[in-house]
Amino acid sequence: MSARSIFQKAAFRRTIGVLLVMPALLFINACQEQVKVEHSIEIQASQQAVYDFVSDLNNEDQWNPWRGADATMQITTSENSQGEGASYSWTSEDSGEGTATITKAQSPSRVEMHIDFGDQGGGDSYMQIDPLENGSQVTWGFVTEVPFFMTGMIEDEVGAKYAEGLQNLKKVLEQ
């Protein structure tokens, strides 16, 4: 068998392999699944106090775990830092770039944000604040669509950060 025919057979096998693998990869990427991550905590602060604090983006440095995790992160907050339309954007060597915008501010019970991660997609975050006899129940959630094989990673990574952020929020508001 000549070197040329060996090369042709190898090239043919590679081409067939690519043709078989590409549709599978496209199918996997096209199978989007909605992921919802949600964590809650009780905070000894009034519903209104919690709402006022979390609806002002200038306060995020005090409790948002992503803010302190990346020393290269540069954050720019809109002139209006509170309520619907308030936003901030970030750039970072580690975390890339993106924008978070408050899309709904319903005093004293709910704040919703759309988070745009640029070419990495986006999602919607919310803070639900429910009154309790001696404080508030605060639920922080995130909803997005990702390829199905990434759902576990999103649940683990975002879930851990949300739990940390709620603990930070509790610590700050109960001082």
Pick the CATH number of 32-173 from 3.40.50.300, 3.30.530.20, 2.40.50.140, 1.10.1740.10: 3.30.530.20
pTM of the model: 0.80
Domain ranges, ordered by start, for the chain = 1-30, 32-173
Residue 77 is predicted with a pLDDT of 96
Mean pLDDT of 86-95: 91
Q: Taking a C-beta distance cutoff of 8 angstroms, is the pair 166, 41 a contact?
A: yes
Q: Taking a C-beta distance cutoff of 8 angstroms, is the pair 34, 142 a contact?
A: no
CA 117 vs. chain centroid, Å, equals: 8
> pLDDT band for position 155 (50/70/90)?
confident
Q: Please list the residues that pair with 102 across neighbouring strands.
A: 113
Q: Taking a C-beta distance cutoff of 8 angstroms, is the pair 174, 41 a contact?
A: no
List Cα–Cα distances, 85 to 6, 31, 56, 108, 114, in angstroms: 64, 32, 11, 17, 10
Residue 105 has pLDDT above 60, yes or no: yes
